[in-house]
């Protein structure tokens, strides 16, 4: 967070290349990911499988106009959502984390899906969320 806060609002509005997201849009995408996955992680604790609706990430970023949003406000929202997600993850019972789910669609929505035909766990899905988050943070921080 402190390193990202060093970026100026103007710098956070500039994409690394034509057709790529700027840092504001990357953080906006991570806000959307946190928002969607919060619901998934909570609902999964009462479901037999891990089947969830996907979302069109480019559409979400575009219609929310993240590029013109205030950089510090985006960082504040992103941080708060992820602190809450960490709280949800930490409070998830081990039995829910490790229960094998044969019915899942993580091959469609996960960053690193489980092997085809293999059961999935909520623990895998949560760790996948963190991997996805770290991937995008490296993109922002390498600027």
46-93: pLDDT as tens digits: 999 999 999 999 999 999 999 999 999 999 999 999 999 999 999 999
Any residues with CB less than 8 A from the CB of 116 and at least 6 apart, and which? Answer: 107
pLDDT in tens, 83-115: 999 999 999 999 999 999 999 999 999 999 998
Query: Does residue 13 contact residue 67 with C-beta atoms inside 8 Å?
Result: yes
**SS3 label, residue 52:** coil
Report how far residue 16's alpha carbon sits from residue 140's, in angstroms, rounded to the nearest whole number.
9
What is the architecture of the domain spanning 2-141?
Answer: Up-down Bundle (1.20)
Helix-helix angle 122-141:71-90, to 10 degrees: 160
pLDDT in tens, 14-30: 998 999 999 999 999 99
Report how far residue 32's alpha carbon sits from residue 25's, in angstroms, rounded to the nearest whole number.
10
The answer to pTM > 0.75 is: yes
Q: Which residues of 127-143 are buried (b: 16+ CB within 10 A; e: fewer)?
A: bbbeebbeebbeebeee
Domains of the chain by residue range? 2-141
pLDDT at 119 over 80: yes
Query: Does residue 75 contact residue 27 with C-beta atoms inside 8 Å?
Result: yes
What pLDDT is recorded for position 116?
80
pLDDT at 143 over 90: no
pLDDT band, residue 136 (cuts 50/70/90): very high
């Amino acid at each position: 967070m402190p390193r990202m806060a060093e970026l100026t609002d103007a710098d956070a509005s500039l994409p690394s290349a034509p057709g790529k997201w700027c840092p504001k849009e990357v953080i906006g995408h991570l806000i959307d990911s946190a928002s969607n996955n919060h619901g998934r992680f909570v609902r999964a604790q009462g479901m037999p499988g891990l089947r969830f609706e996907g979302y069109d990430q480019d559409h979400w970023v575009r219609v929310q106009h993240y590029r013109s949003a205030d950089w510090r406000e985006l960082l504040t929202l992103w941080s708060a959502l992820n602190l809450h997600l960490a709280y949800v993850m930490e409070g998830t019972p081990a039995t829910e984390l490790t229960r094998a789910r044969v019915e899942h669609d993580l091959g469609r929505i996960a960053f690193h899906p489980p092997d085809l035909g293999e059961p999935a766990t909520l623990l895998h899905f949560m760790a996948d969320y963190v991997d996805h988050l770290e991937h995008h943070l490296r993109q922002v921080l390498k600027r």
